[in-house]
Structure 1
């Protein structure tokens, strides 16, 4: 498959409102929560973890020469045990499951301090599996009702309304998807499929939710039309087939940079079949490397673990609970959480963080909570 990236880059930049990133950097990646295949049947989904946790592709980026980072100095400072084959977040926190307690570990402090003192940026994209799987139902509305596609913000609010009601009633919604073999609903079942979702909203939705009511009315219209474009023609029950496209998009968005991915066999196979073109010329700006032999990939892996645990902490911690933790926090905990916030802020200013799925309601909500917590720290 050939992919001429010029138009893709332009569309994505316009969609999310950022300038095309034409600078040159070296990106190092690792991933987390790769569900491989995310499927639904009449019995539910094949992985509850794929619903509870986002897929994450993250790591570090820098413009300087690799030797300027003095990576060997970092490994001396964190004092990994001789039995450790490679650096991982769990080793930095001595296996602590509690993110807040982990912030008190000397090895994690050394790691965060090294990140902060060097010209390193943190980059990440995330994919909410459930959101990504169901919002095609909203996108299908525009084929028959394009006059109501007022703006990108409007579309996102409709998607958010659907996602919110589904999150509160997952099993009931899974049953509908599984029964009609979504995303391969047959032509003769489109009307019933749409009307079952209408009934689902009537039974479980907030009747005062303006956007949910708009979606319900539009879905009724689509039921009469017998059309739901993106709910048809795919593998029965297969909500997400692969994640390699997220790697591809990083390569073409940052076309002047080089991207080093940790080895992932399935994605490697898929990416070999994609020829990237720019101005009609083929280029390749990525490779896959074994983490055990590359310390910068190991740093990327540790960053993935750090941010994953940070975002989970943000998701489950109320502002009141956070204030109580701060009151009893050690100087090390306060310094580390503030340093992480500054690292993320530095990276966001460079526009290398969430260039995908900015409209995912779970991400925007988390981002708002993150800003609130960081303001409390300051």
Structure 2
């Protein structure tokens, strides 16, 4: 009964957020999903004292979405000629057909242009959620050292300050991983709170080089070092920062209850999702997990998720200067592909702001938008 109440509360919160952000969850849509950079669980590997996956590789759950009343007829044969598929190819798979090392190599692919162009001409929009694993892991530190009211009192914005905190440590990711292993993060014993906070402070640059926002966060860390509690960092499992990614599958099912959701099979996750949603019998029929080879739109969702996974990793792994140099060297096909991705993003956002969701620092979205602007200028 308590679990059912929790689901009811979650649904209520979802509706409030939809109303607040202007997200349309009344229209009946059909969502198709696949994932990219799925490490299944995000944790610190004790044998290496490192994360079990590259922290720059965002988890991405993405795909295609259309209005329920706008039917689309397509099959693998629809794409066989344009993608130059051999007769023995039974399924469109991003890793086999499009993935050429990094993002800039992938956008050299004519197949990618043909696929994105088909989506652009179809009634489909793209949708995605990308989860910055490092951001998701360390915001619990932020929320443990400072109160929301305190941030407002000092005239700061909560989300911007979370982003500031992330960027203070992003460049120290290697040392941070060792520190997390040392303290069994995110399950820090209270007797080690002071030592943990002080070790974090040692990773930072000198205060003379800091902005006012950074100095404020340092003061909060110093204050926390004098306490015996980091509220969100106790009574958790040692080393495990993300047990699974099921919550990101459950979220759209609850958010868009009038819509249908078709996911690629993911054994561990789908069992968790089915168990959670089964608590509400009236929602049991609005989602399903299918074998990707049986659904062309799930296959195309794999392409969408794959290229977005490459894109977010590229943005996370480079700075503005590097991206500027890269843009200068882009070929015409690379420019075409990148601008098609941006066009699909913008069209999706105009249809429904809820289609694009980034869980990461605010500046990450800014960096992405500036990258697309640089590519647009290259086209001119």
TM-score by length of 2: 0.85
State the partner residue of 1:295.
Answer: 296
Write out per-residue CA displacement over residues 203-261 of structure 1, whole angstroms, 9 at most, x where no aligned residue: 6x773222221111112222333221111110011111110100101111222111101
Where 2:157 maps in the other structure, the secondary structure is helix
What corresponds to 1:286 in structure 2?
A: 287
* Alignment partner, residue 263 of structure 1: 265
Which position in structure 2 is the counterpart of 1:83? 88
Q: Which residue of 2 is the match for residue 129 of structure 1?
A: 133
CA RMSD of aligned residues (A): 2.9
Indicate the residue corresponding to 2:58 in structure 1.
54
| 1:235 matched residue in structure 2 | 237
What residue is the counterpart of 1:324 in the other structure? 329
Query: C-alpha separation between the residues in 1 aligned to 2:23 and 2:52?
Result: 37
User: Which consecutive unaligned segments of at least 5 residues does structure 2 have?
Assistant: none
Q: CA, structure 1 residues 375+349, in 2 after alignment: closer, same or farther (shift >3 Å)?
A: farther
Give SS of 1:163's match: helix
The Cα of 1:313 is off from its aligned counterpart by 4.9
Tell me, yes or no, if the aligned pair for 1:41 and 1:177 is still in contact at 8 Å.
no
Indicate conservation of the 8 Å contact 2:57/2:312, yes or no: no
Task: Quote the Cα distance in structure 1 between the aligned partners of 2:68 and 2:283.
Answer: 26
Residue 154 (structure 2) pairs with residue 154 (structure 1): no
Name 2:14's counterpart in structure 1. 9
With over 3 angstroms needed to count, the CA separation of the structure-2 counterparts of 1:135 and 1:79, relative to structure 1, is same
Distance in 1 between residues matched to 2:219 and 2:314, nearest whole Å: 38
Q: CA deviation at 1:78?
A: 2.4
User: Contact 1:276/1:284 (CA < 8 Å) preserved in 2?
Assistant: no
Q: Is the 8 A contact 2:28 2:68 kept in 1?
A: no
Runs of 4+ residues deviating >6 angstroms: none
Q: Which moves more between the two structures, 39-48 or 249-258?
A: 39-48
Whether contact under 8 Å (2:58, 2:312) holds in the other structure is no
Unaligned runs of 5+ in 1: none
Task: Give the equivalent residue in structure 1 for 2:357.
Answer: 355
- Inter-partner Cα distance in structure 2 for 1:294 and 1:146: 45
Q: Distance in 2 between matches of 1:321 and 1:355?
A: 26
Mean CA deviation greater in 335-344 or 114-123: 335-344
Tell me what 2:217 maps to. Answer: 215
How many aligned positions are there? 367
Moved more, 232-241 or 305-314: 305-314
- d(CA) in 2 for partners of 1:14 and 1:215? 32
**In 1: Cα distance, 2:204 partner to 2:128 partner:** 34
CA 337–52 in structure 1, closer or farther in 2 if over 3 Å, else same: closer
Give distance in 2, aligned partners of 1:182 and 1:101.
36
* SS of 2:359 mapped into structure 1: coil
What does residue 111 of structure 1 align with? Answer: 115
Structure 1 Cα separation of the partners of residues 340 and 140 of structure 2: 38
Equivalent residue for 1:344?
Answer: 345
Given that 1:10 and 1:20 are in contact with CA atoms closer than 8 Å, whether structure 2 keeps it comes out as no
Normalised by the length of structure 1, the TM-score is 0.85
Give the structure 2 partner of residue 374 of structure 1. 376
Give the CA deviation at 1:104.
5.2
